[in-house]
Amino acid sequence: MARGMKRDADPVDGLLLLNKPSGMTSNRALQVVRRLLNARKAGHTGSLDPAATGMLPLCFGEATKVCGYLLNADKSYRVTVKLGSATDTGDADGQEIETAPVPDLSAEEWNEILQGFCGDSTQIPPMYSALKKDGKRLYELARKGETVEREARSIRIDEIRLLEFSGKRLVFRVTCSKGTYIRVLVEDIAKVAATVAHTARLHRESVGDFASAKMIDMATVEALAEDGPGPLREELLPADVALADFQQVSISLEDAQRFCGGQAVAVEVEEQEGLARVYEAGQRFLGVGELTDDGMLAPRRVFLTREETP
């Protein structure tokens, strides 16, 4: 290829669990990895704030079809809190707007406060967020000094575990539902403790069933792609690993052709309702189907192999 000519992108399929570095937007991280893979189609799920680090699932090619399912997955975070100082953004990137004394609490007292947030509750999204109000991002309004009313949203906290506490530093691990704003959780915890606080560091450790051990940091990504995209592509995970919680259904070659053509097929399975991972003869992944109580399996997302992708 002549120097200066742009290389055509390839139909690359798979998932990469990036350990997003601090100071980079989720979209910027996606575009960097996409370029290194020379991938034609890409997307990410579950955006992280620029200052945050940790698991950012990147989806390429046919794997972009699982992004919507990963958005609904539970997530876990390691959260470092600076007590006694509140910022306008709720994190370390913002300007300090309030200070307050920090109470001298024991580990048992901090644990009692944290456990009070477990379970179902509601949360008001922060002004510094990407949510829209009348067509405008809330953070755009916040930067202009505007504050608008936001509707409370339902969230769920499954577990909070105290890891460290010393002076103005508090560290905990939380597992929560989608849509939970950790910055708001930190501020609410501080209110119960009769002080103020902001999120000093936020690291996402897991998304759904994906564990932190499977993450790849940006330096490793760049090193693997130094001599071309081949070695990095070998690190990609197949799309169906993101659907491990779905029931697995195997269908015949004949039914697979009908399923991929958009037709429902008859199946015999234990659980007759819900979404399922569908395979041809238990081997080739075909996509996501929905089981109905009349014994049928209707296609919802059909996946093509790289060889089949036009």
Spatial CB neighbours of 137, under 8 Å, sequence gap ≥ 6: 129, 130, 131
Which comes out higher in pLDDT, residue 73 or 137?
73
Number of H helices, E strands in the chain: 8, 18
Mean pLDDT of the chain: 90
Query: Rounded distance, CA 42 to CA 63, Å?
Result: 8
Res 103: pLDDT = 96
Q: What integer is the mean pLDDT of 237-255?
A: 92
Give catalytic residue positions: 49
Task: Give start-end residues of each CATH 2.30.130.10 domain in the chain.
Answer: 246-302
Tens digit of pLDDT for each residue in 170-198?
A: 999 999 998 899 999 999 999 999 999 99
pLDDT band at 5 (very low <50, low <70, confident <90, very high): very low
Res 104: pLDDT = 95
Query: Rounded distance, CA 260 to CA 250, Å?
Result: 13
May I ask the CATH class of domain 75-206? alpha beta
Tens digit of pLDDT for each residue in 94-133?
A: 999 999 999 999 999 999 999 999 999 999 887 776 677 7
Res 272: pLDDT = 77
For residue 195, CA distances in Å to 45, 78, 105, 168 come to: 34, 21, 12, 11
Res 294: pLDDT = 87
Q: What integer is the mean pLDDT of 41-54?
A: 90
Q: What integer is the mean pLDDT of 208-213?
A: 86
Query: Rounded distance, CA 78 to CA 70, Å?
Result: 20
Residue 216 clears pLDDT 80, i.e. is over it: yes
Res 238: pLDDT = 93
pLDDT band at 305 (very low <50, low <70, confident <90, very high): low
- Architecture of the domain spanning 246-302: Roll (2.30)
Range of 210-214, 269-273, 294-298 with top mean pLDDT: 294-298
What's the CATH fold of domain 14-72+210-239?
Answer: Pseudouridine synthase (3.30.2350)
Q: Give me the residue label for tokens 């947030």.
A: 117
Res 85: pLDDT = 98
Whole-structure pTM value: 0.88
Task: Give start-end residues of each CATH 3.30.2350.10 domain in the chain.
Answer: 14-72+210-239, 75-206
Res 3: pLDDT = 44
